[in-house]
């Protein structure tokens, strides 16, 4: 698979658009995640992408890791938006006893993807 390097800025801007829709604009969050995100140049369907809590022995959420695909199309962008929503939610639980709210988190992350996709429908066609 070839990733179009020249489109990197385009996809980065789209990611920011998608995250902004979700209210994810906090610079502190992005600073916190620096160096904690692994981007793999793989097909979206070929890997189990996700956000991974780092939990201490007494159950406290200490840190966050994220594995996402390099963005090369809308699908891989949506995976990134999805996982960022999970990470952002987890960010607020740092220092607390960690509980994974699977159902609510999944719903929230999936809705974020849909919201972004709707903006594509509403854009003027080139
Ligand atoms: Zn999810």
Specify if 16 maps to a domain. yes
Residues 64, 90 contacting (CB under 8 angstroms): yes
Tokens linked to 94: 């740092």
- Predicted pLDDT at 39: 95
**Cα(126) to centroid of ligand 1, in Å?**
32
In total, how many domains does the chain have? 1
Question: CA 27, 33, 36: angle at the middle one, nearest 5?
Answer: 165
**Cα(81) to centroid of ligand 1, in Å?**
10
**Cα(42) to centroid of ligand 1, in Å?**
18
Specify if 125 maps to a domain. no
Specify if 97 maps to a domain. yes
Specify if 104 maps to a domain. yes
Domain hosting 11: range is 5-117
Specify if 17 maps to a domain. yes
**Cα(86) to centroid of ligand 1, in Å?**
7
Q: At what angle do helices 74-91 and 8-21 cross, to 10 degrees?
A: 50
**Average pLDDT value for residue range 30-43:** 96
Specify if 122 maps to a domain. no
* pTM for this predicted structure: 0.91
Range list of β-strands (E), the chain: 37-40, 50-55, 61-69
**Average pLDDT value for residue range 12-23:** 97
What are 47-102's pLDDT values in tens digits? Answer: 999 999 999 999 999 999 999 999 989 999 999 999 999 999 999 999 999 987 78
Specify if 55 maps to a domain. yes
- 96 HSE (CA, 13 A, CB side): 9
């Amino acid at each position: 698979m070839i990733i179009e390097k020249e489109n990197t800025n385009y996809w980065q801007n789209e990611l920011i658009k998608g995250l902004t829709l979700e209210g994810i604009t906090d610079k502190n969050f992005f600073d916190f995640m620096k160096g904690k995100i692994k981007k793999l140049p793989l097909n979206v369907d070929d890997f189990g992408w996700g956000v991974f809590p780092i939990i201490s022995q007494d159950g406290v959420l200490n840190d966050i890791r994220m594995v996402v695909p390099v963005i090369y199309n809308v699908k891989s962008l949506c995976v990134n938006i999805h996982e960022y929503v999970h990470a952002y939610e987890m960010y607020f639980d740092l220092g607390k006893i960690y509980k994974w709210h699977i159902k609510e988190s999944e719903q929230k992350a999936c809705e974020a993807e849909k919201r972004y996709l709707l903006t594509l429908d509403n854009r003027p066609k080139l």
